[in-house]
């Protein structure tokens, strides 16, 4: 099954994560595991998830350290064979290169500028560019140093698409199906708009996972409905 939906397993409960995979696996082929899950359950937790379905992992660890340390960290998770593994592009060219060379079969995925940072925040940190030009610059830096995918806002996807090689995969969170709750997301696109803007994959969390509060069948139907809206 080829689906552009990446479901964010934002939970610190292993059984909940498993039940979400079982409920949605007919519409979702990739699950995003972040620090909340990984720091609690580690590699063993990921292995336990694998019995819940047939899927790939987006390991969202947002690595950022000296090149040698990042290279070793990538090697440490290589046997888990995540499809995507995130690093911060702001770690610089040598760090990105070290990550990319540490496990050639993993798509090293560069996070550009966190969307939680405003232009004012960036100036305060010492950046000389606003968020958008900084993100474009970091996307270019990352992909010329071996990153094979980029995480960005759907509002940056079309410009990044023009800037990077066609085989580079663009992944955007910040998507909401029409009519769903915004949560803490401020600027959003629908899944179809994000893909049309140039994204290859969309990360979705609460619009699907909140449905599990009603029932796992509702969750299954919700994921299927989003996938249908993309056809
Ligand atoms: O629940 P929601 O659909 O907002 O979840 C989106 C997922 O994508 C969460 O795991 C969130 O941490 C992540 N994310 C995001 N915005 C970013 C980067 C990551 O929402 N800019």
R_g (Cα) of the chain, nearest Å: 17
Average pLDDT for 117-133: 91
CB-ligand 1 contact for 183 (6 Å cutoff): yes
198-216 as b/e, with b when 16 or more CB fall inside 10 Å? bbbbbbbbbbbbebbeeee
**Beta bridge partners of residue 204, listed in sequence order:** 7
The pTM assigned to this predicted structure is 0.95
What is the spatial distance between Cα 175 and Cα 191, in angstroms, rounded to a whole number? 6
Indicate the pLDDT class of residue 1, thresholds 50, 70 and 90: low
What is the spatial distance between Cα 203 and Cα 216, in angstroms, rounded to a whole number? 19
Largest Cα span, the chain:
49
Average pLDDT, the chain: 95
Residue among 76, 25, 14, 33 at smallest CA distance from 53: 25
4-56 pLDDT, tens per residue? 999 999 999 999 999 999 999 999 999 999 999 999 999 999 999 999 999 99
Total count of domains within the chain = 1
Percent of the chain with pLDDT over 90: 90
184-207 pLDDT, tens per residue? 777 789 999 999 999 999 999 999
What CATH number should be reported for the domain holding residue 51? 3.20.20.70
Question: What's CA 185's distance to the chain center, in Å?
Answer: 15
CB-ligand 1 contact for 10 (6 Å cutoff): yes
- Domain that includes residue 160, residue range: 5-229
Residue 80 CA to ligand 1 centre (angstroms):
23
The residue whose CB lies within 8 Å of the most ligand 1 atoms, and thus the one to mutate among 5, 7, 8, 175, is 8
DSSP 187-222: S-B-HHHHHHTT-SEEEE-HHHHGGGGT-HHHHHHH
Q: Residue 29 in contact with residue 1, Cβ under 8 Å?
A: yes
3-class state of residue 116 by DSSP: coil
Q: Residue 108 in contact with residue 74, Cβ under 8 Å?
A: yes
């Amino acid at each position: 099954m080829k689906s552009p939906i990446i479901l964010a397993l934002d939970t610190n409960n292993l059984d909940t994560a498993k039940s979400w995979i079982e409920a949605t696996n007919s519409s979702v082929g990739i699950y995003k595991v972040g620090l909340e899950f990984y720091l609690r359950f580690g590699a063993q937790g990921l292995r336990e998830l694998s019995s819940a379905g047939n899927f790939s992992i987006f390991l969202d660890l947002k690595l950022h350290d000296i090149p040698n340390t990042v290279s070793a960290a990538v090697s440490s998770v290589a046997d888990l064979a995540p499809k995507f593994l995130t690093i911060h592009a702001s770690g610089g060219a040598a760090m990105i290169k070290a990550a990319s060379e540490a496990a050639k079969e993993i798509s090293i995925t560069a996070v550009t500028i966190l969307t939680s940072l405003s232009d004012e925040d960036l100036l305060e940190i010492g950046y000389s560019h606003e968020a958008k030009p900084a993100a474009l610059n970091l996307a270019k830096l990352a992909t010329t140093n071996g990153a094979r995918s980029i995480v960005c806002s759907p509002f940056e996807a079309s410009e990044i698409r023009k800037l990077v090689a066609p085989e580079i995969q663009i992944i955007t969170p910040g998507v909401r199906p029409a009519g769903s709750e915004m949560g803490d997301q401020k600027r959003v696109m629908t899944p179809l708009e994000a893909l049309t803007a140039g994204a290859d994959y969309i990360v979705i969390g609460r619009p699907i996972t909140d449905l599990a509060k009603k029932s796992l069948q509702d969750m299954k139907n919700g994921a299927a409905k989003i996938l249908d809206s993309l056809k």
